[in-house]
Structure formats: structure tokens, C-alpha cells
A = this chain, B = another copy of it.
Amino acid sequence: MKSRTVTPKPRLKMADIAKMAGVSTSTVSRALADNPLIPLPLRERIVALARAQGYVVNQQARGLRLQRTNTINVVIPLGHDKDQLISDPFFLEMVGRLADQITLRGYEVLLTKVMSPTPGWLERIIQSNRSDGVLVIGQSDQHQALNAVADSYAPLVVWGGDVPDRHYCTVGVDSVAGARLAVEHLLKLGRRRIAFLGLPEAPEVLLRRQGYLEALAAAGIPAEPALTAPAHFNAEPELEGIHHLLSSGVTFDAVFAASDVIALGAIRAMTEAGLRTPEDVSVVGFDDVTVAQYSWPPLTTIRQDLDRGAREMVELLFQRIEGKTTTSVFMAPELVVRQT
């Protein structure tokens, strides 16, 4: 369909409404802000007029004057995994929940994807004055960058792991404990040669690997370096990890993957290679993304409570915006046993 010609409406400004109402802009401004200084009848008349005319306060001007934006910036740094799209299910589910929570509080959501973090990327986001607070989803490999701003910028909350020497407020799941849960489950199943799949550039992955090693040590099983293979967070072309493992000739009877997406990719690759899950190889993922429960076989995984996580992040952020001191939150992970 050819779109018809558009005749733009002139943008009304407060002065226009003031003129129509026969008052000054201050009065309109106060009336629209429900300021009791303006007598109720007049206030109502002005509000009605503004409504009728379709007038809405210019947020840009208002923001400049008030030095606030009514906006929260949700940032996804993709440093560790250059071509990972926002399309990754974990990030997307997190974004959705954060957006729900932020909207609930009457704030707007600014969504920023940082493709290849260049030095100062976070400072630039903060200094650009586009938001009243920043929520970062995942530390990626940007721990230093986060620390760098944490001491001078309060309204910042990060989703991630409890890495040492962390100056910023964090919400996350205890990755080490989660990984131990996963590996202990595999050990209980009688598995002994357990592979770890994950690219250890993101701190979360490192922590999960640490939990993996701890669980093995606790069971008296020596860790075998050949059983750890790198895997990017996204599944499709980056199945090098599992392929590498498969072609290396190393034998293994279980896989603990640093994320569900990696786990799902691994299952697919193994199936193609003639290995059955869970008969030949047991698999445990991490995240409990929506796909995990619909996949076949339904994926056994470590659940991160994203609903609660999003609520906590937003709650902490608003506390910090108000100048309060906050305490980081690490939630207990939960093993969800399904069929892999």
C-alpha cells in the first residue's frame, strides 16, 4: 500500500495552552503538576483543556530543567562474545522482566547494547545524561570498567557473579553453589567423566567452573584439563567447544554447560554424532531459560530466578537513586531435574 501524505500537527507547547486558558505558563505548569497552589476549579479547567488539545509536556525540556529523565538505562555489554545478538534468550528474558519492573514504577526504559566495549564506554553512557540510573545485565569481561565507575556513580546495579574486589552493587545467583549442585547431581547419577563447557572470559563462567572443580575435588575425582572446552554463550555457529571435545577423542559421560543455550547446542551436536542424551551422556545446563522446559529431552538445569532477580535489581537501583546504601543480593540456585 502506498502510504498517504501526512500533514503534521503543529506541536503544542505550554505557552499555547497558557494563551488559550488566558493564564501564564507558570500557572499551566503548576496546574498540570497538580500543584495545590492553583485553585481546584482552575486546575481542572487547564488539565481538561490540555487533554482536549492533546497537549503533553515536552519531556526533553522538562528533563533539562529538572535534571532528571525519568528513565532507566538497561545496558547489555557484549564484550566477551562479539557477535552475540541481543537475541540471546537469557538476556532477552531478563530485559523483559526488567522492563516490566521499571514500567511498573513509572519510569521509561532505555535499552543499550554495547557491541565492542571501548575504554570509557560506561562513563560515556552515564555522562550522556540520558537516564537516572543504569542496570547492567552481565559482567561480560568488563569487571574493571564497572569498578572504575562504581566509586563515583551511585545509581548502578549489575546482574552478575560475586567476583572478588567488586565495588559495584550486584544481584545474581551463587554460581559456585549452582555449579556444585549440578556436578553433584551428575555424580549421584554415577557419572565420573564430566566435561565443562563454557568460555571463561565472563566471571560467571569462571565461577561456574570453580564450582565444578570444587565438586569434583570433594568427590575425590581429579579434574582433567582435557574435559574443559570453551564455548561461547550462543549456540549456533559456536559449537566449537563440544565439537572439539567430540573430535578430541576424550571420553566423557556427562556435560555441565555454563548456560542452557550451550547445553542445548551440545545436545544437538552430540545427537548428530550419535551420542544419546541422557543414555550415553547426561547434561546439565544453567539459567533455566524458557526453552529449557520445552526442549527435548527437557533440560535438567540450574534455575536462576529471573523474576525475583529483576525485582531485586530494580528495587536496589531505586534505593541507590534515593541515596541509600544497599547490599548486594545473591540468590540460592536451584537444581531443576528434568530428563537430561
**A residues lining the B interface (CB < 8 Å):** 1-9, 11-12, 51, 54-61, 63-64, 69, 71, 74, 85-89, 91-93, 95-97, 99-100, 103, 108-113, 115, 120, 123-124, 127-130, 150-154, 162, 166-170, 264, 290-291, 294-298, 320, 325-328
Instruction: Name the contact of A169 in the complex, choosing from B3, B95, B112 (C-beta under 8 A).
Output: B3
How often does this chain occur in the complex, in copies? Answer: 2
Tell me whether A290 and B89 are in contact in the complex, defined as CB-CB below 8 angstroms, given that A59-B128, A69-B60 are known contacts: yes
Tell me whether A130 and B60 are in contact in the complex, defined as CB-CB below 8 angstroms, given that A93-B87, A153-B9 are known contacts: yes
When the two chains form their complex, are residues B109 and A3 in contact, meaning their CB atoms are under 8 A apart? no
In this complex, what residue of B is CB-closest to A56? B127
Instruction: Name the contact of A6 in the complex, choosing from B1, B5, B12, B152 (C-beta under 8 A).
Output: B152
How far, in whole Å, are A11 and B123 apart by their CA atoms in the complex? 11
Measured between C-beta atoms, what is the minimum distance from A179 to chain B in Å?
A: 20
The residue in A86, A115, A297 that gathers the most chain B C-beta atoms within 10 A of its C-beta is A86
Tell me whether A108 and B130 are in contact in the complex, defined as CB-CB below 8 angstroms, given that A5-B325, A8-B153, A153-B6 are known contacts: yes
Residues of chain B within 8 A (CB-CB) of A124 are 56
Known: A5-B325, A87-B93, A92-B93. 8 other contacts (CB 8 A): A3-B167, A54-B123, A56-B123, A56-B124, A60-B129, A92-B96, A95-B96, A294-B296
Residues of chain B within 8 A (CB-CB) of A11 are 127, 129
Residues of chain B within 8 A (CB-CB) of A3 are 167-169, 320, 325-328
Instruction: Name the contact of A109 in the complex, choosing from B103, B111, B327 (C-beta under 8 A).
Output: B111
How far, in whole Å, are A1 and B326 apart by their CA atoms in the complex? 8
When the two chains form their complex, are residues A152 and B64 in contact, meaning their CB atoms are under 8 A apart? no
Residues of chain B within 8 A (CB-CB) of A295 are 291, 294-296
